[in-house]
Structure formats: C-alpha cells, structure tokens
Amino acid sequence: MANVTPNPEVDARRAQLRAATLRLAIGVVAVHGVALAVYYGFDIGHRPDRTRTIFVAIWTFATAITVAFLLKRVRQARLVTRVVRKRD
C-alpha cells in the first residue's frame, strides 16, 4: 500500500459523504416504518382493493420523494469529495 499522508480536509469530506449516505438509509427506513405502522394500525390489508392500491401508491410516492431529496445530498457530497481529490 502506498504511503499516504492524512489530509484532514479529505477526511472531513468523506465523513460528510458517509453522513449523507446514512441519512439516506435512515430516511428510507423511517418512511417504511411509518407506512407499515399505518398499514397495520388502520388494517389496510383487509380494506377494499382500491384503498390498498391508493395506499401503496402514496407509500411509493413518499419513498421516491425521500430518496430523490436525500440522494441529491449524497451526490453533492460526492461531487465535493471528487473535487477535493482532484486538487491533491
């Protein structure tokens, strides 16, 4: 392995990337947790097909919006990390 000098700026950027990725995972888990709680709390599984379909559509939309919003932050963190890496 090459002798690499630690760069605090790069380490901070990598920490931002890890944090953004962790927020993405936690956000998706949170959306699914809330959706499952609503699903079982309101007994959606025993409701008419139309109700279940609407519920799944809303759940899917909420997940997609969460992923799009949080993935944008991950991409921003990656871009900053790449720019710093190119300067070194």
Q: pLDDT tens digits, residue range 7-63?
A: 788 788 889 999 999 999 999 999 999 999 999 999 999 999 999 999 999 999 999
pLDDT for residue 22: 97
Tokens of 40: 């079982």
Q: DSSP secondary-structure letter at 44?
A: G
* 8 Å CB contact between 35 and 62: yes
